[in-house]
Structure formats: C-alpha cells, structure tokens
Structure 1
Amino acid sequence: TIDLLNVSFDGVSAPDRISALSGLNELQRISSSRRWRLVEIDAKLSNLTSEIEHLKSLIYPSETYMDLNIGIALWLAANGEGVVNGNSSNYHESGCCSYKYKSDARILLVGSGADEQCAGYGRHRTKYKACGWAALDEEMKLDMHRIWKRNLGRDDRCISDHGKEARFPFLDEDVIKCLLEMPLWEIANLDEPSGKGDKKILREVAKLLGLDGAAVLPKRAIQISMANVTDGRVHTMITSAFSHMNTEHLIKNMIALYFFGNSIGNYFGPRFLLEMYIAGAVTGSIFYLANSFFTARSLKGTEAKRCLSIPGLGASGATNAILLFYIFCFPNSTVFLHFFIPVPAALVGALVIGTDLWRVKQGDKHVSGSCHLGGAFAASVVYAKFIKHWI
C-alpha cells in the first residue's frame, strides 16, 4: 500500500486537491494491482496560530511567507492525519465511504530537485528568453548549488519533526548524473508553452508510464510578488485577488464587497461591478509591486531579494476600489462603521486613504497599504472619467 498525502487549505475546491484526485485515478488505471490510498488532509491557517511560532523555528533561517506556507504543508503531510474517501480507493478497509486515517509510513518521498534540474521555474523561462541556453544553464546550476540551503534543510526539519524521514528521489546521485549527461534542450524546451516545454524530460517519462494527465499539468502560482511577475507569471496580478491568507482576511473583504458592491451593482450594473473589481485588482497589484521595487532599492543583498519575493494575496485592492468609488459617488451618505457607528461616507474615505498612507510609511507590513492605494487610484480614475467626465 502507498499513502498519497495531499494537503489543502481550500478543501475539495483547491487545484492541488483536484490534481491529486486526477492523479490517483491515473495511478489506479496503470497499476490496478497496487493499493493506493489518498489521504486528504484539510487545514485552515487560522486554526494553526499556536503552531506558527514552532513552524517558524523549523524553517529558520528561511522566513518568507512562501517558505512558511511550504513548511506548514510539509509539516501537516508528515503528520499524516486526514480522511480517506473509500469511494475513490481501489480497495475498501473500513466498510464506509469516508473514514479518518493516520498514515504510519515512516518514509516520505519529496519532489525537491525536479524544478531545479529540469527548468520548472518561471525564472528559468525568463532567463532563457533573455539570454539563451548558456544563461539558463548557469541559473539552473545556481539553483542546485543553493538547494540545500533554500529547500532541503527546511523540508527535512518540518518532516522529521513528526519522526518521519524525508527522501528526495530527484536528488539521487544516479538521477543527477543522468541529467547532467543530457543536453539541456533534451531536458526542457522553453520555446514551448508552460505545461509542455518546462520539465520536458519528466513529462515525456510520465507519458511513457501512461500518466497522460499529469504530463501536461502546468506549474501553478497565484500570489502576486515582484519575483513571480519577473518570472513570467503576470496572471498573478489578477489571480491574487481571488484568494486570501486566512479566513479573517476573506470575511472582511467579502463584507465590504457585499455591502458596497451591491450598491454599485444596482446603480451601474453587474458588468460595471466586475470591471471595477478587476481594475482594482490590477492597479492594486501594480502599486504593491512598485512599492516592493522601491523598498528593495533601499536595501542590500539578501534583504533586497527577500523584499522582492514577499507575496501579496487578497482582494483588498479590488474591494477598496469598490468602496472608494461608492464614497466618491455618494460622499454625503452614511456609512455604519463597525456596523453600528454612523459616519459620513466622505470621512470614512479620508480615514481609509489616510490609514493606507500611514501603512506605506511604516513599511507596508502585514496589511498592504500600497495595494489599497492602488484600488483607490482605480476608483478615482473611473470616477473622473465616467462620472465627472474630467478625463
């Protein structure tokens, strides 16, 4: 029996959960005699507050949000406690459709090294398109030289915290030797689109094994950061507005969207509301990236690189655009602050913009004032052009 451990922070709707279920079906099809058990590990970041400090100590000296998110996922996977859906298994152990299960596997296989050796990162594509094969080769060598510091120590500590041993098949000496002996253009073809040319050699092996679905899966990224955008993942300027760091963040934005978005939708129509949301998301991302860029310029070395890699996630720019557009249109209306304090809408708008300017001045920590100001900019441009016709 092989336990397949899948961690999701969005339940069954998470793209990685959907991919895991698809992968399970393929594995059952090509190797039906083997027993496969998909352990679905669902978690909420808001329920892990007491564990966060411990996890920060495990991933240290890494300290970015991305490192923390990866560390949490590995730590939860190593714990191995989740639910098995009996209907998706090719065998039944408990006589029920779904049951709680804790994996007792002592060895965890981790995929580290695949992206580094097979040009799986967006920055590899960027480097190749800008400077060619030689520059790509140097970039991939750099990734392999620093993988022990960037990834392996973090991953090993998070997994061994549960008494499990991590093993890295893609970093097996024979695998590394084989890949080093192959021409780089046989390993990857970055002239082809994502999901086809990146990790070309691994995709071809997957097809030979009958894993046709897994062979065409693209690498995903949803968070906005300067590193993501420069690596070619420009779509994160929009996708980052459709997910959130935690439940509290989501609830606050959705409350604002419900009350003010409902009014905007009633007055100007649902299409206008959607376009305003997208405009706020894009300008919020632009302002966030600009602030990251100028902040990094005042830093040096690893601090500058860390600043550029800090991801942003959430609909704050989009919802702020909708909120402030409403206030621009109806400045004399009454807004109930915290649901019960009546405040003139114009005053609320001044407080929102003033608070965000203060956040930027304080370093844009935790809550991104720059992203909010991007939403405010979108609202002001739309108001000036379509309501006042000043532009």
Structure 2
Amino acid sequence: MVTLIIIGITCVVSFMAFNNQRLMNDLILWPPAIERQREYYRLVTYGAIHADFGHLFVNMLTLFFFGRVMEGFYTHTLGQFGFVLFYLGGLIVSILPTYLSNRGNANYRSLGASGAVSAVLFASILFQPWAKLYLYFAIPIPAILYAVLYVIYSIYMDRRGQGNVNHSAHLWGAAYGVAFTLMVQPERLSIFLDQLMRPRF
C-alpha cells in the first residue's frame, strides 16, 4: 500500500504541475532557493514532479514493480514507515552531490524521482540478481547484467555532461539503495554473492 500511495501522490502532484508553472517552480530543485532562502524541502519535493508524462510513466512503472519487494523488506525490518524513510532518503542522498556542485548556479534545475527509483531498483537486485528485466519493455535481460550496464552507461553519460538527464542522481541513488539495504541487513551481501554463483535464466 505504501508504494501505491507514493505513486498516487507523485502522479497527482506531477499532473498538477504540468499545467501549473508556479507549482512547478515552487517544488523543483533550484539551488539558489535552498542556498539563500533555506527552502530545504526542495530536496524532497523535486521528486514529486516530472518533466513530462513519459518521464513520470517510466519512473512510476519501475517503482510499482520493484517497490513492492522493498516495501515488504523495509516494513519487516524498520517498521510501518520503513519504506517511506528509505524512499525519502533516496531522494535526498541521490540529489545532494548535484546540489552541492551547483549551489551557485542559478541556471540549474532538477526534477523527477529517478534517483530514489534507482535506489529501489538496485536494492531489489540484491534480493533477485537473476530476475528478468525487460530492456525497452521487450528484451529480457538478467537484473545483475542490467545493473552493470546501467552503471557503465550512467558514468559515461555523466562524464560527457550533455543533455538534461541527471545521471549523477541515478548513480548516487543506486549506491544508496545498495549501501542502506546492506547496512540494515549485512548478511544480505553473502546471500547475494551466493545467488550470483547460481545463475538462473
């Protein structure tokens, strides 16, 4: 239910912001608003708005499929609001490096839940490394291979520094998802490594 609530809130706020530029501007991550006006809430609210329907759809579809796996784990280990805390942490941690490197850049803006969704996806891969993911919704690929390709691609694109996609947030979100999950359940690493040695296609 928590995953569905997050998806519902994100969809409602995103659809509202599509037609309300003032709302978009009030929620987006804009470094000067945080640096000068102390609007720290933007470190979270930027994840509730998206650039367009396609951006929203991909993020929420990914969250729907993998959020339920991690919601069960975090509810069991951290309690009723465990998954909410994990997700909010993903939003904050994934964007912090970008924010810190753009504190004086009035032209920089960032939006979308991709960093937190990456955290959820990579945490779930710790549990099911050989699960099938579908690249472009058509090509089946083992989750662990997808993770490797995703990281390589994100590092390459981040270093190129072109386009409007925040690849840094994807990388930091993924790292946070893995690190936080292993901090909560350290034995998960040995289980994960054992699963890697037993491929299932």
With the shorter chain as reference, the TM-score category is: 0.7 to 0.9
Amino acid across the alignment from 1:263: V
Q: 1:222 aligns with which of 16, 23, 27?
A: 27
Deviation string, structure 1 residues 82-126 (Cα, Å, up to 9, x no partner):
xxxxxxxxxxxxxxxxxxxxxxxxxxxxxxxxxxxxxxxxxxxxx
The aligned counterpart of 2:68 is 262
Give CA-to-partner distance per residue, 1:221-249, whole Å, 9 cap, x none.
Answer: 21113212202111100011111111111
Give the structure 2 partner of residue 376 of structure 1: 174
Structure 1 residues 189-243: Cα deviation after superposition (integer angstroms, max 9, x where no partner)? xxxxxxxxxxxxxxxxxxxxxxxxxxxxxxx721113212202111100011111
Q: CA–CA distance in 1 between the matches of 2:162 and 2:42?
A: 20
1: distance between equivalents of 2:187 and 2:73?
Answer: 18
Is 1:242 matched up with 2:48?
yes
In structure 1, distance between residues paired with 2:130 and 2:177: 17
Q: Larger relative CO (CA 8 A, sep 6+): 1 or 2?
A: 2
CA contact (8 A) 1:226 1:289 kept: yes
1:353 equivalent among 151, 162, 168: 151
Q: Name the CA distance, whole Å, in 1 between partners of 2:133 and 2:52.
A: 26
Q: In the aligned structure 2, how far is the partner of 1:359 from the partner of 1:388?
A: 31
- Greater strand share, 1 or 2? 1
Instruction: Report the alpha carbon displacement of residue 268 of structure 1 after superposing the two structures with TM.
Output: 3.7
Tell me which residue corresponds to 1:336: 134
Could you say what secondary structure the match of 2:81 adopts?
helix
Amino acid at match of 2:44: I
Is contact 1:237-1:281 (8 Å) kept? Answer: yes
User: Between Structure 1 and Structure 2, whose CA radius of gyration is higher?
Assistant: 1
- Kindly report structure 1 stretches of 4+ aligned residues shifted beyond 4 Å: none
SS of structure 2 residue aligned to 1:309: coil
Residue 286 (structure 1) aligned with residue 103 (structure 2): no
Question: What is the match of residue 123 of structure 2?
Answer: 325
Structure 1, residues 18-70: CA drift from partner, whole Å, max 9, x if none?
Answer: xxxxxxxxxxxxxxxxxxxxxxxx849xxxxxxxxxxxxxxxxxxxxxxxx68
Q: Which has more helix, going by share of residues?
A: 2
Task: Measure how far apart 1:287 and its partner are.
Answer: 2.2
Superposition deviation, residue 344 in structure 1: 0.9
RMSD: 2.8
TM-score, structure 1 length as denominator?
Answer: 0.39
Shift of 1:332: 2.1
**Counterpart residue number, 1:365:** 163
Instruction: Provide the rounded CA distance (Å) in 2 between the counterparts of 1:333 and 1:388.
Output: 21
Give me the identity figure in percent.
Answer: 22
Gaps of 5+ in 2: 1-11, 189-201
Which deviations, in whole Å up to 9, do the C-alpha atoms of 1:312-345 show, x marking residues without a partner?
A: 0110111111011111222122222223322111
When structure 1 is superposed on structure 2, of 276-285 and 221-230 the one drifting more is 221-230
- Please report how far the alpha carbon of residue 277 of structure 1 lies from its aligned counterpart in structure 2 after TM superposition: 1.1
Q: Which amino acid aligns with 1:255?
A: L
Instruction: Name the CA distance, whole Å, in 2 between partners of 1:267 and 1:339.
Output: 26
Counterpart-to-counterpart distance in 2, 1:379 and 1:225: 24
Aligned length: 170
The alignment partner of 2:27 has SS state of coil
User: Any unmatched runs of 5+ in structure 1?
Assistant: 1-9, 16-41, 45-68, 71-219, 294-304
